[in-house]
Amino acid sequence: MSGAARSFLPTPPKDLSRGEFVVMLAMVMALQALGIDAMLPALSQIAQELKAPDPNDRQLVIASYLIGMGAGALVFGFLADRFGRKPIMLAGIGTYCLFDFACIIIEDFNALIMFRFVNGMVAAAGSVVAGAIVRDRFEGDAMARTTSLIAVVFMIVPVMAPTVGQTILLFAGWRSIFGLMFVFGVVMFIWVLFRLPETMEKGHRQKLSIGRVAHNFRLVVTNRDAIGYTFGAALVFAGLYGYINCSEQLVAEHFGLGDKFAYVFGFMALFMAASNFANSRIVERFGARRVSHTALLAFVVTGALQWASATYAPDNFWLFLPLMTINLGLIGFLGSNFSSIALQPFRHFAGSASSLQTTVRVGGGAVLGAVVGAAYDGTARPLGMALFGLSLAGLLLILYSERGKLFRRRKETVPQVEG
């Protein structure tokens, strides 16, 4: 951009207020959630209109987007470490808008799945770069608290999006949901362009080279303090994504709630928002490790109860609802804390580390979640089995990172970074 053109743009504030900072990053990240949750009530309509080959194929509208998010996460963090946070975030949001528009006019189911995959890839720029921006400004439990505050605001979208999508379907077709996503993306592009300052110090910018990428990757995957939290989060999130993939079939069809599905999903998401808020209030007092370890143990127990409930009372919605709600609520004490702990050792290349860890957490979780969703057999039994088994495996990984001892505060081992 030339100096003359730059003069027409207001200079972003050097330091946003905490409130605007939290809300802005939350809404950027919410672009991802809107692309998932607003679509859920429309899956049946999309499958019918575009002639999906199999009833379970409707899940691919969600699964392809989630897998794309994981793939895209591998790219944008490295770019943000090289070119700065703001230009990469803007590029991601702008491309997100273009693919939302493309999905409005698509006429083929397979093409829609491909476009959704790419749409998920570029949507990843928001969460990855937002995570790096938070790491630029905060560290330790303060970082976990800020991440939780962002998650509280962010969770407004999963709570409301299914109902918004359901309402749109009353007056227009599923393509109008993509129109809403396009408009939201444009609004966020303008907000970030005019208000977000660059948070990365120029001296911390990384060379974009195969050697640098390989070096950073080696540091991320060999740091024992981080590796268990990265892969453990992927396993826990696989259960969440598995539920999201089959939720419309499970709640609307198996339990027979039909159009009430959007309200059930929003009710459960409300508890995720509440737990993120609670986490933001307690994490600095008790520490991210104590809070997340307690939540993970509770998740394992609740997953086991969900499996037992689906096996011995498969048609009882009033057993499924509270157990699934508790599982989703516990995610609020796991996601922000796990990601903050895993990112803590990598201050000087937070973008690259955030990319690699998000790829594992989201991409790995999405692939496993697609397997869980595809196992849907008309009951909640495959989901309950996955919630228990995956969280138990995640607990073993956390024990590895913590050297067999849970519930303790300790300093992370900071890896050496090449100049």
| pLDDT of amino acid 7 | 44
In angstroms, the CA 177 to CA 182 distance is 9
Average pLDDT over residues 354-374: 88
Average pLDDT over residues 27-37: 90
Nearest to 381 by CA among 318, 267, 303: 303
Burial class, 346, CB count within 10 angstroms (exposed 0-12 / middle 13-18 / buried 19+): buried
Domain assignment present for 370 = yes
Backbone dihedral angles phi then psi of residue 91, each to the nearest 5 degrees: -60, -40
Average pLDDT over residues 113-126: 92
In angstroms, the CA 280 to CA 26 distance is 14
Domain assignment present for 175 = yes
Give residue-wise pLDDT tens across range 373-398. 999 999 999 999 999 999 999 999 99
* pLDDT band, residue 340 (cuts 50/70/90): confident
Nearest to 221 by CA among 348, 125, 352, 338: 352
| pLDDT of amino acid 271 | 86
In angstroms, the CA 341 to CA 364 distance is 19
The answer to whether the beta carbons of residues 172 and 58 sit under 8 Å apart is no
In angstroms, the CA 140 to CA 103 distance is 40
H-state helical runs in 106-154:
109-137, 140-154
Average pLDDT over residues 33-61: 89
Domain assignment present for 201 = no
pTM of this prediction? 0.82
Average pLDDT over residues 288-312: 95
Interhelix angle 60-83/18-37, nearest 10 degrees: 150
Task: Using the CB atoms, write b or e for 58-96: b if 16+ within 10 Å.
Answer: bbbbbbbbbbbbbbbbbbbbbbbbbbbbbebbbbbbbbb
| pLDDT of amino acid 10 | 58
* pLDDT band, residue 1 (cuts 50/70/90): very low
Domain assignment present for 4 = no
**Residue 224, pLDDT above cutoff 80:** yes
H-state helical runs in 259-348:
261-286, 288-312, 317-343
Domain assignment present for 367 = yes
Average pLDDT over residues 21-29: 89
Hey, what are 329's tokens?
A: 């609520």
Domain assignment present for 390 = yes
Q: How many separate domains does the chain show?
A: 1
**Residue 417, pLDDT above cutoff 60:** no
In angstroms, the CA 198 to CA 13 distance is 10
In angstroms, the CA 172 to CA 291 distance is 44
Average pLDDT over residues 218-235: 89
Q: Could you list the residue range(s) of the whole structural domain that residue 326 is in?
A: 17-195+210-401
Domain assignment present for 204 = no
**Residue 216, pLDDT above cutoff 50:** yes
**Residue 412, pLDDT above cutoff 60:** no
* pLDDT band, residue 351 (cuts 50/70/90): low
The kind and range of the H/E element at 52 are: none
Average pLDDT, the chain: 86
Average pLDDT over residues 352-380: 88
Most confident range (mean pLDDT) of 360-364, 384-388, 407-411 is: 384-388
The lowest-confidence range among 58-62, 188-192, 351-355, 409-413 is 409-413
**Residue 270, pLDDT above cutoff 50:** yes
Q: Residue 28 belongs to a domain with what CATH number?
A: 1.20.1250.20
* pLDDT band, residue 42 (cuts 50/70/90): very high
The kind and range of the H/E element at 219 are: helix 210-222
Q: Between 107 and 345, where is the model more confident?
A: 107
Rg, Å, the chain Cα set: 21
Residue 277 to residues 24, 131, 154, 177, 323, Cα–Cα distance (Å): 17, 18, 11, 28, 20
Residues comprising the chain, all counted: 419
Average pLDDT over residues 174-198: 93
Domain assignment present for 226 = yes
Q: Between 145 and 396, where is the model more confident?
A: 396
The one-letter amino acid code at 318 reads: W
**Residue 137, pLDDT above cutoff 90:** no
Average pLDDT over residues 285-305: 94
**Residue 269, pLDDT above cutoff 60:** yes
Average pLDDT over residues 246-263: 90
The kind and range of the H/E element at 199 are: none
**Residue 36, pLDDT above cutoff 80:** yes
